[in-house]
Structures are given as structure tokens and as C-alpha cells.
Amino acid sequence: MPRPSPRTRRAVELNIKPLSGMALRQIAEALGLDALPDYLAILLACMLASHRAGRKTARGHTPARVAAALRRIESRMRRGHDDPKATREITDLHFGMDGETFIRLAKIVADPDVPHDRKLNEIEARRREVEAMPRINPRRGLRVELAAEALAQIWYWYAVRRDDRARQWQFVLAILEAAGEGTEGLRRNAERLRRDLWPLLELTSQP
């Protein structure tokens, strides 16, 4: 019986949707603006579309899963398999490896002039790094990433009063709500997200 072909991931298409009138008003109010300019509305729509697409690909994407994939690749390579099929999880980003691992290892692994031992050493070093990472909730990581991106790209540059911390937090919540993320828990207990964002909250609130 022929073996089934390995499961691969397709490129993710962004479904960019305009923000609702309510979301636009809430974000503009948090920024201290009468209305949100069109170019900011477009930037936000693209940002939120990327976030929604990320929710699909992030499911189950934990350090343990990445480490297990790297361990499998190491094992195959130690048995003498050093071909594109053996290492495509690293060299093809759409196959499922995380971005940092791809950036650090893809060129080395795909280069036929790099010695086999060096490839193995680089993969092993990255695998040990990933194994040492704490457990994460990928959905939570996406929320933090979205809030951080919005603070750096929008709040810092367009808020009328960057040092208004109440409006800054209102802005973060409005962005998460526009992305379809629940904020009831954050409104009751915001400390964990604030801790994750603290350096950026400080930096982007400087007048």
C-alpha cells in the first residue's frame, strides 16, 4: 500500500475587512482624535486581518511542538538523511516551523556547501533553546503581539496625548475588541497583560 503524502500547510490568505463604525469611533476616541483617518483605518484593517489569519496557524503551535519537530529532523539527519525532503519542515515556512527557527536555520540547512556536522550542531542548539522555553498559550501570545504592534505603530505616532495612561489602556482594549478578542477578563484583571506589555507601555507613553 502506498504511503500517504506528508501533510503540508497552504499559504494563508488575508481576508481584509473594514472596521465597524463603532470600532472606528472607540479607537479614535482613545487616540484623542475626532475621527480615524482613512490611512489609519486601512492599516488597522490589515493588522487585524493578519491577526485573524494567525489564529488559524497558531493552534497548537507551542515550543514543545517545535522542539519535537527539530528532534525528528536531527534523528533523520544522524541516520544519514540530508536531503530537502528530510529538512523541509525547516526550509519551507509554510510547512509549520516557527519564524525565528526558519530565519536562523533555513539558509544553513539548505546550503549544500555547509558541512553536515555544522547543520546538525545548529539544529541541536536551536532545539535545546526551544526546549528551555516556558510553556505558552499561542492564542495569548497572538493577543500580546497584536497589542504591541498597535502600540508601536499607531498609539506612539498618532495619540494626541501619549502620556494619558487611561486612554492608552482604552486603546489596547479597543484594538483587541475590534479583533474579536474577548476583553471581559482583562477589564476585571488586567495585570497579566500589562506585565507582558509593560516595557512597551512605558516607552510608548513618553511625551
What's this model's pTM, rounded to 2 decimal places?
0.61
Overall number of domains in the chain: 2
The reply to whether 67 and 127 lie within a common domain is: yes
Considering the domain boundaries, does residue 31 fall inside one?
yes
What residue numbers bound the domain in which 124 lies?
63-131
Classify residue 29 as exposed, middle or buried by CB count within 10 Å of its CB (0-12, 13-18, 19+): middle
Question: For residue 176, what is its C-alpha cell?
Answer: 483587541
Burial 180-191 (b: 16+ CB within 10 A, else e): ebebeebeeeee
Question: For residue 190, what is its C-alpha cell?
Answer: 488586567
The reply to whether 83 and 185 lie within a common domain is: no
Question: For residue 97, what is its C-alpha cell?
Answer: 516551523
Considering the domain boundaries, does residue 2 fall inside one?
no
Considering the domain boundaries, does residue 10 fall inside one?
no
Note down pLDDT in tens along the chain; length 207 residues. Answer: 333 333 444 445 678 889 999 999 999 999 999 999 999 999 999 999 988 877 766 555 677 888 888 999 999 999 988 788 888 888 886 666 777 788 889 999 999 999 999 999 999 999 998 888 777 666 777 888 889 999 999 999 999 999 999 999 999 999 999 998 887 877 777 787 888 888 888 889 887
